[in-house]
């Protein structure tokens, strides 16, 4: 069986990265997977959240915001924040925070903004994959000779969606697949293959442990490939594999 | 190894159900698991959401709201809605909708409200387990001789948390465990053991496929037990196992 | 004449108090009068309101929040805050503050939350009667050997509704009475019979001074009885009568 | 004893009425009592509130809004709506609705806006006294030969504050008195001396039945005088006494 | 050609100023131009905006708020803030700030509130003309012997609307003219004839440079006259012309 | 004198247009002028605003939204809507509506979204210039043989900023110029040189009629050039000059 766009079940959509993209933030990455296109920017400031400031030696923090531009879908997406967006930006934030040594980051605030420019499925996982690159760029931009950006990262993070479409587990669903999938799953993993977060939802349906395992196998392989793409983008002087 | 409250790793907290509890909604259940105590009410109306009304023969809908009462925690929880609450109520709604035949439900709106009265970990999963019972009660209260409430439900649904605490996978974490867990996972399953949703998050850490599998085994067994408790509450004339 | 539920005009509904109820706040009281059931919790903190902090030696403060749970009425009550709720929580706050010596309370913030679990008339007055008990419990929980909780209270406070139904003044209206009453009055008094607040409203009607006086007589007697019930709940070692 | 401004305890502040004042609403009254000055406008429309439209033959409705202009106090009052304003506008609305025959009013919506231009105590009661006049003017402006405006009003309504200052009950408190009063009471009565609403609050204090009665005597006499002032303003062809 | 109210194209509506008007702010001016009537108050405080406080020696600030009272138009204007109001209050603020030496003003916050009591066209420009007078009064009220209020003002400011109605450029449009104008322009100028702000909008139409110039000529003459009216109001001891 | 970036006073920044850009809206244009880069998308729907639907044969409507992406500036721009944004999107909407024949457009709703990706001055005027192209593309995408898109447009529209920097009038200010300008002016004109809107503001300063005229000359020439750029983008088969 081949998929509606000719891909194999275990095949990612082609990934493109444009970097540094337009903008004024220290990290700015335009990432696309097939038609899905997201602008990930990472900004740096010293305005820590209030609850951080209560401690005497506050460490840094990373927070994420996710937004779909109105023209990214047809019909137009209203700018009103909705529950789905809130849920997604919390996921992105947790995923990025999982690979950070906050002590080393120091009292710095990083905000990763993921603005979807073209939506065709998989926006939340691509936001994580691209957001990580923007995040690294922002940390690398710190001008402080006593600060070692590479020590901030315990690992790399990438994410991908998997699902069951017409009873077949497939990797990296686009919108036509996503909207007919029986199961929709998002996996967030480190570059060395451990799990940071998995979320699997049956869409008005259910799934078995076997199906879960098949999907996780697909996801693990896909994330390995995305990690190689991130490594290529970041360059050899920034090894993400062997931290 | 035994846990801080003496439980075995695979042991649920004792569950209590008071039903019908105080209130005016057709479904009203006070459910507790150890110290965690939640009031689940299910209300019935004919006010479908606007997007449902656009179709000519609108089917019903189920939506959930989750809220922590201010006195459920110390220090006091502010009444302001936050992102965590939004995320949780979306999970509860999806979980309940997964076992419903909306065609059979007809143009009816069910709102399941989960108000946490005492919070000690596992409020989102207990909301699903208790919310399902309130939901059944609300559907059973429909006064219409042509309506068969039992045909509305394709299955039962229950949920439980699992996690890794001090490197040991454990079932049904209470707050002291939850706040020190390396991994925190919520599983939502049907009465016959299929998965509706799983969400596993490493708390500033990561976990392996093996750990994931150990946790899912614990969760599956725990949900089986919770399903028996739901069956006992609903009574033998409402078989939830063999739909 | 007897009332629709068989009570005499000057007869209260039976009052039940469950204490300490579920929850994590130092004061937590489930109080019911007939079918009306309210969870009153009182929390303690050192987060004084900003306007208090402007003075050099800020004294404490007491504030109240009132909320009807969605399942407390049928049809379901939306969670949106409305003008009625704002008005009621201001009344509860004023009533509790009237019996407090803020100097003795010291720089402590008490928040009394009144969450209606079942609504059948008289929720605002029962919130005051039950809220006072939760309030005392919270003040008693202060762990400070130099602090005398009993000196904080100048008096006790309880409240009851009265009204004119079918031209007869009656005490403690339930919802069916309230919705047909010509006059609806709420009285808040101290344990020794002085008035803290009275609010009497003709419902699209008017009333005379004579009717006002008859109602106040009923209210005074009702509040005396409620004070005895509060005294019983708080115990003999906490005399509320002879401060 | 005389008061700080030389008035007797039972003496109202001088009342001025400018009518029709600037504006475009059919009813527009600038009313002052001493320094307190309020612009009351009454607008007429056919936009009934949604809950009214559910009935087949909807009758009219009257709603009120209360607002303090920023420059009405020093320091400046922020434009943010607060709980006090909500409480006051609900009182004004209830008071005006008490004297209306909604059947006769027909499917008309009246909105009475009370904007405080200068605040010196007693703004909520003066809003009612002045709002009634604007309300009558708006009803009189209906251009419909089959409509009898005088049949809409069952009675007139006026309001005044009373209080206990330095242990003496006094009528119509200004701000310096109000801010030191032991008891603060608002009475709303019809032109023929019946009570629509009374609200009496001890300010961190209590009061007795005797004090209540003394204050109600003062209020009744004050409202009689305000009714005469309303009658003079409305003119002899609009008798408010003998409906 | 004469205009619908008999004015010449270059003729202002008659201006009335009542000052000090009711209120408690140090500056309070009721200004009218024909039927358009606005209450301008200017309040003084030491609560500078947060962004000002970041500098070590914060200078003062001037901010404006614009609001239409509900009864100022028929049908009634809702109290909800809209985009038009936001745009207008930003214009008023910019216009007033253009003539101020903030260094001399010192760390003082002035808020100019413009509440429209009767709307008949030209409310934004009349708010500026009247707001300037209230502003001067507020600055003059500062009680500090080392402070020279006259040194705060670099110039005076007044504003007027111009437009093209039936192909004829006219000064100071009222509402009937405004609603049929092909071009609507607002000019804000200093007392000595320089431009602070011009905003010209074709209403679903366009206009030429020639028409622009004709309108600016009208505006300049009109503002000269308004400046004389401001001078008369402020008195000879406050010369606004020769700063 | 040459400018800090070497441009002549009357020289535009280089303009780049990428079209169709990523996205799902029928019109999508990435436009840049120097470093300022804006994504303009135009969406088409049949959801007319409620006030349009009150007429029997509602014509279409055009509305605009303006937003700065968080990473478009450093420090990061918060996503909160502010008064400046409201003012700008109202300007964009008015400008686009000025060149439309709504009767011909028919009952269609066009929303033009301008999301700033990189901000370096002149974002509001570039939004208009680029938004017009996206708007044309959206209208051209209507699939209806009876509809003539070219008849919808009465004219073209483009905009540019001018200002006085170091006493010299200059065209198309970038951010360093804008932040030190004495006068800041935005001109919106049609392709045939008529004015749709001009807004000129002295930044805590004033300007003369002469300066105004010099700036308008610069703006007119700049807009002519921008119109040629629009014409090139839209192609010869869409003549914007001779409507």
Structure confidence at residue E205 (pLDDT):
80
Q: Is 70 exceeded by the pLDDT of residue B243?
A: no
Judged by CB atoms closer than 8 Å, whether chains meet at B70 and C45 is answered as no
| Window C:96-135, CB contacts with B under 8 Å | 111, 113, 115, 117-119
Structure confidence at residue E52 (pLDDT):
86
Residue among F20, F22, F73 with most chain A CBs within 10 A, to mutate: F22
**Nearest-by-CA chain F residue for E208:** F194
Structure confidence at residue A129 (pLDDT):
98
- For F87, the closest of E90, E195, E206 (CB atoms) is E90
Answer yes or no: are the C-beta atoms of A206 and B155 closer than 8 Å. yes
What is the C-alpha to C-alpha distance for residues F216 and D197, in angstroms, rounded to an integer? 65
Span E62-84, average pLDDT: 95
CA distance E204 to chain F (A): 4
Those residues with Cβ within 8 angstroms of residue D239's Cβ, 6 or more apart along the chain or in another chain = D231
Give me F203's structure tokens.
């930044």
| Helix, strand, coil content of chain D in percent (nearest 5) | 30, 30, 40
pLDDT tier at B205 (50, 70, 90 boundaries)?
A: confident
- For E79, the closest of D24, D45, D65 (CB atoms) is D65
Structure confidence at residue E1 (pLDDT):
59
**Nearest-by-CA chain E residue for F157:** E206
Structure confidence at residue E241 (pLDDT):
61
The distance from CA B50 to its chain's CA centroid, rounded to whole angstroms, is: 26
Those residues with Cβ within 8 angstroms of residue B71's Cβ, 6 or more apart along the chain or in another chain = B117, C23, C24, C25, C28, C39, C41, C42, C43, C113
CB pairs under 8 A between B and C: 93
pLDDT tier at E141 (50, 70, 90 boundaries)?
A: very high
CA distance readout (Å), D105 to C206, D93, D95: 19, 16, 16
Structure confidence at residue C241 (pLDDT):
61
What is the C-alpha to C-alpha distance for residues D172 and D178, in angstroms, rounded to an integer? 9
CA distance readout (Å), F149 to E205, F27, F140: 20, 14, 5
What angle, 0 to 180 degrees and rounded to 10, lies between the N-to-C axes of helices D209-234 and D123-140?
A: 30
Span E80-99, average pLDDT: 94
CA distance readout (Å), C185 to C214, C215, D161: 11, 8, 18
Q: Is 80 exceeded by the pLDDT of residue D39?
A: yes
What class does CATH assign to C15-155+225-235? alpha beta
| Bridge partners, F161 (sequence order) | F186
Contacts of A23 in chain F (CB under 8 A): 69, 71-72, 117-118
D19 labelled ligand-binding: no
Give the model confidence (pLDDT) of E163-205 as tens digits.
999 999 999 999 999 999 999 999 999 999 999 999 999 977 8
Chains E and D touch (3+ CB pairs under 8 A): yes
Q: Is 60 exceeded by the pLDDT of residue F154?
A: yes
Q: Is 90 exceeded by the pLDDT of residue E130?
A: yes
Q: What does pLDDT average to over chain E?
A: 94
**Nearest-by-CA chain D residue for E68:** D23
In this structure, what DSSP letter does residue F149 have?
A: G
C2 in B contact zone (CB under 8 Å): no
A72: left (phi over 0), alpha (psi -120 to 50) or beta: alpha
Q: Is 60 exceeded by the pLDDT of residue B107?
A: yes
CA distance C104 to chain D (A): 14
What is the C-alpha to C-alpha distance for residues E191 and E156, in angstroms, rounded to an integer? 5
Q: Which chains touch A (3 or more CB pairs under 8 A)?
A: B, F
Structure confidence at residue E240 (pLDDT):
80
pLDDT tier at F236 (50, 70, 90 boundaries)?
A: confident
Q: Is 90 exceeded by the pLDDT of residue F1?
A: no
Structure confidence at residue B204 (pLDDT):
73
Q: Is 60 exceeded by the pLDDT of residue F243?
A: no
What is the C-alpha to C-alpha distance for residues C24 and C139, in angstroms, rounded to an integer? 15
Reduce the DSSP state of residue D218 to 3 states and report it: helix
Answer yes or no: are the C-beta atoms of C140 and C149 closer than 8 Å. yes
Nearest to E116 by CA among E30, E50, E216: E30
- F100-124 burial by CB neighbour count: b if 16+ within 10 A, else e? bebebbbebbbbbbbbbbbbbbbbb
Q: What number of residues does chain C have? A: 243
What is the C-alpha to C-alpha distance for residues D174 and A39, in angstroms, rounded to an integer? 61
- For E200, the closest of F155, F197, F220 (CB atoms) is F197
Span A131-159, average pLDDT: 96
Phi, psi at residue B237, to the nearest 5°? -80, 5
What angle, 0 to 180 degrees and rounded to 10, lies between the N-to-C axes of helices A123-140 and A83-97?
A: 50
Span B158-165, average pLDDT: 97
The distance from CA E5 to its chain's CA centroid, rounded to whole angstroms, is: 23
Structure confidence at residue E58 (pLDDT):
86
What is the C-alpha to C-alpha distance for residues E138 and E43, in angstroms, rounded to an integer? 6
F80 in E contact zone (CB under 8 Å): no
Going along C92-216, which residue ranges are E strands? Answer: 109-118, 157-165, 168-171, 183-190, 195-202
| Bridge partners, E42 (sequence order) | E27, E112
Structure confidence at residue F2 (pLDDT):
78
Pairing verdict, β C15-18 and B27-33: unpaired
Judged by CB atoms closer than 8 Å, whether chains meet at A76 and F111 is answered as yes
Judged by CB atoms closer than 8 Å, whether chains meet at C69 and B41 is answered as yes
| Helix, strand, coil content of chain A in percent (nearest 5) | 30, 30, 40
Q: Is 90 exceeded by the pLDDT of residue B53?
A: no
Span D95-104, average pLDDT: 94
Reduce the DSSP state of residue D87 to 3 states and report it: helix
CA distance D98 to chain C (A): 4
Q: What does pLDDT average to over chain C?
A: 94
Structure confidence at residue D1 (pLDDT):
59
| Bridge partners, E198 (sequence order) | E187, F200
Q: What does pLDDT average to over chain F?
A: 94
CA distance B102 to chain A (A): 10
Span D175-181, average pLDDT: 95
A190 in F contact zone (CB under 8 Å): no
Nearest to F125 by CA among F178, F176, F166, F181: F178
- For D195, the closest of C87, C90, C208 (CB atoms) is C208
Give the model confidence (pLDDT) of F125-137 as tens digits.
999 999 999 999 9
F17 in E contact zone (CB under 8 Å): no
Structure confidence at residue F6 (pLDDT):
95
What is the C-alpha to C-alpha distance for residues F203 and F185, in angstroms, rounded to an integer? 10
Structure confidence at residue B1 (pLDDT):
59
A79 labelled ligand-binding: no
Give the model confidence (pLDDT) of C46-65 as tens digits.
999 988 888 888 899 999 99
Going along chain E, which residue ranges are E strands? Answer: 15-18, 27-33, 36-45, 61-68, 109-118, 157-165, 168-171, 183-190, 195-202
Q: Is 60 exceeded by the pLDDT of residue D81?
A: yes
Give me C101's structure tokens.
């010596």
Q: Is 80 exceeded by the pLDDT of residue C188?
A: yes
Structure confidence at residue A58 (pLDDT):
86
**Nearest-by-CA chain F residue for A43:** F76
What is the C-alpha to C-alpha distance for residues B134 and B117, in angstroms, rounded to an integer? 16
Span C75-80, average pLDDT: 95
E4 in D contact zone (CB under 8 Å): no
For residues E239 and A184, the model is more confident at: A184
Q: Which chains touch E (3 or more CB pairs under 8 A)?
A: D, F
Q: What is the ipTM of this complex?
A: 0.94
CA distance B83 to chain C (A): 17
Structure confidence at residue B99 (pLDDT):
94
Span F101-112, average pLDDT: 95
Give me F122's structure tokens.
């002149």
Judged by CB atoms closer than 8 Å, whether chains meet at B25 and C65 is answered as no
Answer yes or no: are the C-beta atoms of F117 and F72 closer than 8 Å. yes
First to last CA, chain B: 39
What is the C-alpha to C-alpha distance for residues E108 and E97, in angstroms, rounded to an integer? 13
What is the C-alpha to C-alpha distance for residues B39 and B17, in angstroms, rounded to an integer? 10
CA distance readout (Å), A27 to A16, B143, F50, F72: 16, 60, 42, 11
């Amino acid at each position: 069986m081949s998929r509606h766009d000719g891909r194999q079940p275990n095949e990612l959509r082609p990934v493109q990265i444009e970097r540094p993209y337009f903008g004024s933030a220290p990290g700015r990455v335009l990432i696309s997977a097939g038609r899905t296109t997201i602008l990930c920017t990472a900004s740096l400031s010293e305005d820590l959240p209030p609850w951080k400031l209560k401690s005497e030696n506050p460490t840094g923090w990373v927070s994420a915001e996710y937004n779909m531009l109105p023209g990214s879908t047809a019909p137009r997406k209203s700018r009103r924040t909705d529950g789905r967006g809130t849920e997604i930006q919390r996921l992105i934030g947790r995923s990025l925070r999982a690979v950070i040594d906050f002590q080393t980051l120091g009292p710095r605030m990083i905000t990763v903004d993921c603005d979807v420019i073209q939506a065709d499925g998989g926006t939340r996982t691509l936001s994580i994959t691209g957001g990580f690159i923007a995040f690294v760029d922002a940390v690398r931009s710190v001008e402080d000779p006593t600060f070692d950006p590479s020590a901030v990262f315990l690992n790399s993070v990438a994410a991908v969606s998997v699902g069951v479409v017409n009873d077949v587990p497939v990797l990296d669903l686009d919108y036509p697949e996503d909207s007919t999938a029986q199961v929709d799953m998002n996996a967030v993993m480190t570059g060395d293959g451990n799990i940071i977060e998995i979320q699997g939802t049956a869409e008005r349906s259910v799934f078995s442990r076997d199906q879960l395992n098949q999907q996780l196998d697909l996801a693990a392989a896909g994330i390995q490939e995305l990690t190689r793409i991130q490594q290529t983008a970041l360059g050899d002087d920034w090894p993400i594999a062997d931290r």
